[in-house]
Amino acid sequence: MDKMDIDRSADSSGDTTDSELPSHPGDALRHAVVFTESANSRPAVSSDRTDLPKYALHFILEGHKAGVTNVKFSADGQWIATSSADKTIKIWHADNGEYETTIGGHGRGINDIVWSPDSKVLASASDDKTVRIWDVMSGRILRTLRGHTNYAYSVDFNPKGNLVASGSFDESIKIWDVKKGICLRTLPAHSDPVSAVHFSRDGTMIVSCSHDGQIRLWDTATGQCLKTLIEDNNSPVSCVRFSPNGKYLLSGALDSAVRLWDYLKGRCVKTYQGHKNEKFICVSTFSTTRGVWVVSGSEDGRIFFWDVQTKDVVQILDGHKDVVLAVDAHPTKNLLASAGVDGVVKIWIER
């Protein structure tokens, strides 16, 4: 197969995680950032290559009272947002980890968050069945989107920022007008809970995945299902996203495999293995600021980096004391964020 080009101006939006998590044992009122000069990180391949990732722990964010379900860098790279089973969103400065504010209002744990393209607004999906739109700096609720009949599990902004897509345990996808706060379309998307939704870089398509083992592509304007991709072993699919250039899909499934799909041809072209993912939704993503890596959390508390082309595990970070639910790459800098059941957020930097 020809060398794949997945890079080009990534739209960094979200996937999903589980909100039924144990409480964080730390001080509920503390918002701490701890800087460190080293970390338990190691290369995973013996190689003379000089381009392998060399991430080490940069700082730690603490303050959530329960497991952290997602972590996202803002599109402008200035902020970090974290969501938790403690029903809150916290905002931090991306450059030094300084705590900025806490946003609250959901009645139950938050499963997913996503920044708007202008980095001024957040959308969140919660077990309280609502999707909420927030003004980040004021913490004010701009819209509460109601209509799902079970947990709202995933959420994403389109590139223009005027639409939000949400996926739910009610097996549907809803497309919302952000300004009007109304549902424009409901898609009877899957036969099991929808675990992730993601817009294409031009906003014309939405990709979704489900515990039913299927990945589906949808026409945003018409709601038509354009294509269905099925895992060979029909494992529940826990996350999916478009590649930065929009030509491929990256999915994670509960068979401890991350897959790269050529969706136009309808086939899986790469499979990345080595991590453990059998129960939780562990988000996988791309890192493209230096080299092109596939990155995923693991249920053994580690973070795995794979070479997108060779499928080699090129670095493993021994980062957390429990399941790593979420990872996200900074849009322009060599920074990676990870979060999980231990209630801690870690920011990694390439030395």
Q: What is the pLDDT of residue 6?
A: 75
Among candidate residues 255, 319, 256, 251, the one with its CA nearest the CA of residue 285: 251
Residue 4 lies in a domain: no
Residue 90 lies in a domain: yes
Burial class (CB in 10 A: 0-12, 13-18, 19+), 29: exposed
CATH code at 251? 2.130.10.10
Residue 15 lies in a domain: no
Residue 30 three-state SS: coil
Among candidate residues 77, 62, 139, the one with its CA nearest the CA of residue 344: 62
Q: What is the pLDDT of residue 35?
A: 45
Q: What is the DSSP string of 141-205?
A: EEEEE---SS-EEEEEE-TTSSEEEEEETTS-EEEEETTTTEEEEEE---SS-EEEEEE-TTSSE
- pLDDT per position in the chain (351 positions), as tens? 445 677 754 333 333 333 333 222 222 223 444 444 444 555 555 456 778 999 999 999 999 999 999 999 999 999 999 999 999 999 999 999 999 999 999 999 999 999 999 999 999 999 999 999 999 999 999 999 999 999 999 999 999 999 999 999 999 999 999 999 999 999 999 999 999 999 999 999 999 999 999 999 999 999 999 999 997 788 999 999 999 999 999 999 999 999 999 999 999 999 999 999 999 999 999 999 999 999 999 999 999 999 999 999 999 999 899 999 999 999 999 999 999 999 999 999 998
* Domains held by the chain: number: 1
Question: Using CA atoms, how far apart are residues 201 and 198, in angstroms rounded to an integer?
Answer: 9
Residue 20 lies in a domain: no
Q: What is the pLDDT of residue 210?
A: 97
Q: What is the pLDDT of residue 350?
A: 93
Strand partners, 339: 326, 345
Residue 148 structure tokens: 């799902």
DSSP label of 137: T
Q: What is the pLDDT of residue 117?
A: 98
User: Which residue range forms the structural domain that includes residue 108?
Assistant: 32-350
Residue 192 lies in a domain: yes
Residue 48 lies in a domain: yes
Residue 232 lies in a domain: yes
Residue 134 lies in a domain: yes
Work out whether strand 141-145 and strand 225-230 pair parallel, antiparallel, or are unpaired.
unpaired
Ramachandran region, residue 212 (left: φ > 0; alpha: ψ -120 to 50; beta: rest): alpha
